[in-house]
Amino acid sequence: MTSRPTAAQHLRDLARLRRVRDRIDREYAQPLDVEALARDAHMSAGHLSRQFRLAYGESPYAYLMTRRIERAMALLRCGDFSVTEVCFAVGCSSLGTFSTRFTELVGVSPSVYRREAALATEGMPSCVAKQVTRPIRNREAPAPELDLA
């Protein structure tokens, strides 16, 4: 028999999840893994993954990759870096994995994006370009439902 978490425990978990999300946002270019994030949040890796998905609509790894791809998109738009340089600058260690994830989220390869995005966002302020070029996964994430009962 498993006991249902109290409202206070649920709020503590949400605060821990927010700290994990904030850490991913800050340290996206660093090597991060679910086990280390969970340990720092005083949760098991499985519990962190399940609760993070419930709260934010995607796993911690998917959230991390979305942050990395968003940053990569900005670097590719400026045109000063090669795809390989961007891959390593955003914390990816494999060009193949980076290219695959980029293509899944954006719909085109990094090299195609680099060629086309510079033209498509020319003249736009960077804050507007970031918003209109946000990866698809964020738009598909369901709104979190809170069950405090």
80/5: higher pLDDT? 80
Distance of alpha carbon 141 from alpha carbon 90, whole angstroms: 22
- Taking a C-beta distance cutoff of 8 angstroms, is the pair 32, 59 a contact? no
- Which helix or strand (DSSP H or E) is residue 18 part of? helix 7-27
Q: Which domains does the chain have, with CATH numbers?
A: 7-60 (1.10.10), 62-140 (1.10.10.60)
Distance CA 89, CA 95 (A): 11
- At residue 108 the predicted structure's pLDDT band, cuts being 50, 70 and 90, is very high
58: nearest Cα among 91, 26, 20: 20
Distance CA 44, CA 60 (A): 13
Look at 68 and 117; give whichever has higher pLDDT.
68
C-alpha span between 81 and 72 (Å, rounded)? 10
Q: Is the pLDDT of residue 149 over 60?
A: no
Express each pLDDT in 11-53 by its tens digit: 888 999 999 999 999 999 999 999 999 999 999 999 999 999 9
Residue 94 has pLDDT above 90, yes or no: yes
55 within 8 A of 144, measured Cβ to Cβ = yes
Q: For residue 37, which of 24, 55, 50 has the smallest C-alpha distance?
A: 24
> In sequence order, which residues have a C-beta less than 8 Å from that of residue 127 and are 6 or more positions away?
none
Q: Kindly tell me if the per-residue pLDDT of 112 is higher than 90.
A: yes
Residue 3: which pLDDT band, with cuts at 50, 70 and 90? low
* Average pLDDT value for the chain: 85
pLDDT of residue 134: 63
